[in-house]
Amino acid sequence: MNVPVDLANLRSMTDGDREMEVALFEEFYSSFETGIAELEASVEAPAAETWRKQAHALKGVALNLGAGHLGELGKKAQDEYQAGAEAKTALVQSIRTEYEQVKLFLQKLAA
Amino acid sequence: MASSEPKSSPDDPKLKKEQAKPALNPLFTAEQLQYIKNSSAERRALMVPTLLIVEDQEFSRKLLEGSLRATYECYSAVNAAQAVALYAEHVPCIVLLDIELPDMNGHDLAAFIKRHDPESFIVMVTANHYENDIKRAVENKVQGFVTKPFSKQKIVDCIDKYMRERKVKP
C-alpha cells in the first residue's frame, strides 16, 4: 500500500521519542498551513522570489518529515517559480491536496 | 549534475534583480576575534563537540535540536545575525549551516566565518542539489554538505569527521 509518509528517517532522528514526534507533526501542520497561505498570496509575477523561497522551505520540511511526494511538489513549485499565475494556482492546489492526505495519515498515527 | 536540475537557481540574475532587500553585512569586533582565537585550543580539546545549528525553518531546526541535544551542547540561530553573535559567544566546534537564510546567503556566512576563523568546521545543510551550491561549498572549503532529508547517520558522520580531523595539540 502506498503511504504518503515514510517516517524511517524522522524516527532515526527522534530515536522513537513519541512525544517529540507528535510535537514535530504539529510543527509540520503549522509550517504547511502558513506556507500554503504564503504561496497562495504570491502567485503573481512580482512575488516570484517570495514564491520560490516559500516553496523551497516547504520542500525541506516535507523531505525531512519523509513526505516524498509532497517534497516533489515543493521542488516543482520551487523550480517553476517563474510560471504564470494560473499554473501556480493549480500547483498550490496540488500541494494542498497532498498535504491534507499527509496530515490525515499523521493524525491517524498520532491518535 | 542530473539532467532534471532546474535551469534557474537562486543565483539567476533575474532573481537577483528582484532581491531588493540588502543582505546582512556581518562583523566580528576586535574583542570577539581575539576571543575566537584564544578559544581555539580549548575547542580542539573538547571530547564532546559543541554545535551551532543555523536554520530558519522551525520544523527542521527542532528536528536537529531534538535529535542532538541529549548528546551535544547545541546552540540555535534562526538567521545569520544570530549565528554570528552565537558564534562569537560560544566558538562552536561544528556549524550546521542552512544555505537559504532570511538575512544572508549561507555560503556568504560560511565564507565570513572561514575568513575569520580558519579552524572552523562548517557543514552546509540544504534541500537543494544545485551545482552552484556544491561549487560554492568547495570554494569556501567547508567540511561537509548534507542534503535533506536528514538522518541520524548523516549528522553523526559529520561529527565523526570533525572528531577525526580536529588537531588536538599536546
All structural domains of chain B: 28-165 (3.40.50.2300)
Q: For residue range B7-17, what is the model confidence (pLDDT) as tens digits? A: 445 445 444 44
Residue of A nearest to B66 (CA): A14
Task: Give residue for cell 516547504.
Answer: A58
| ipTM of the complex, rounded to two decimals | 0.91
3-state DSSP assignment of residue B80: helix
Q: Average the pLDDT over A28-42 and give the result.
A: 97
Q: How far is CA A20 from CA A16, A25, B47, B107, in A?
A: 8, 9, 27, 31
Residue A3, domain member (yes or no): no
Distance of alpha carbon A96 from alpha carbon A106, whole angstroms? 15
Question: Which residues in B lie closer than 8 A to residue A78 (C-beta atoms)?
Answer: 6
Q: Which of A15-19, A34-38, A74-78, A102-106 has the lowest mean pLDDT?
A: A15-19
Note whether residue A63 is domain-resident: yes
Q: Which pLDDT score is estimated for B167?
A: 62
Which candidate from B15, B57, B155 shows the least CB-CB separation from A60?
Answer: B57
Query: What pLDDT score was predicted for residue B22?
Result: 62
* Res B168: pLDDT: 52
**What is the Cα–Cα distance from B162 to B158, expressed in whole angstroms?**
6
Q: Is A9 within a domain? A: no
B84 neighbors B63 (Cβ within 8 angstroms): no
Domain containing A28 equals 17-110
Looking at residue B23, what is its pLDDT?
A: 72
Q: Do B100 and A57 count as a contact with CB atoms less than 8 A apart?
A: yes
Pull the grid cell for residue A66: 519523509
Question: Is residue A8 assigned to a domain?
Answer: no
Q: How far apart are CA A91 and CA A74, in angstroms?
A: 9
Chain A environment of B100 (Cβ under 8 Å): 53, 56-57
Compute the average pLDDT of residues A14-30.
95
Question: Min CA distance, A92 vs chain B (Å)?
Answer: 19
Q: How far apart are CA B13 and CA B95, in angstroms?
A: 29
Residues 6+ apart with CB under 8 A from A92: A36, A39, A40, A43, A77
B79: pLDDT strictly greater than 70: yes
Mean pLDDT of A89-95: 98
Give the cell for residue B54. 543555523
Number of domains in chain A: 1
pLDDT of A99 > 60? The answer is yes
Domain assignment of residue A31, yes or no: yes
Q: Residue length, chain A?
A: 111
pLDDT surpassing 60 at residue A92: yes
Taking residues B18-47, report their average pLDDT: 84
Substitution target in B59, B68, B104, B147 with the highest count of A β-carbons within 10 Å is B59
The enclosing domain of A61 has a CATH number of: 1.20.120
Domain membership of residue A73 (yes or no) is yes
**Strands of chain B, DSSP E:** 50-54, 73-77, 94-98, 121-126, 144-147
A61, part of any domain: yes
Q: Does residue A41 belong to any structural domain of this protein?
A: yes
* Confidence at B150, pLDDT banded by 50, 70, 90: confident
CA distance A8 to B122: 26
Of A14, A31, A81, the CB nearest to B59: A31
pLDDT tier at B151, thresholds 50, 70, 90: confident
> Taking the CB of residue B131, how many other CB atoms lie within 10 A of it?
12
Chain A hits for B57, Cβ within 8 Å: 31, 57, 60-61
Burial class (CB in 10 A: 0-12, 13-18, 19+), B97: buried
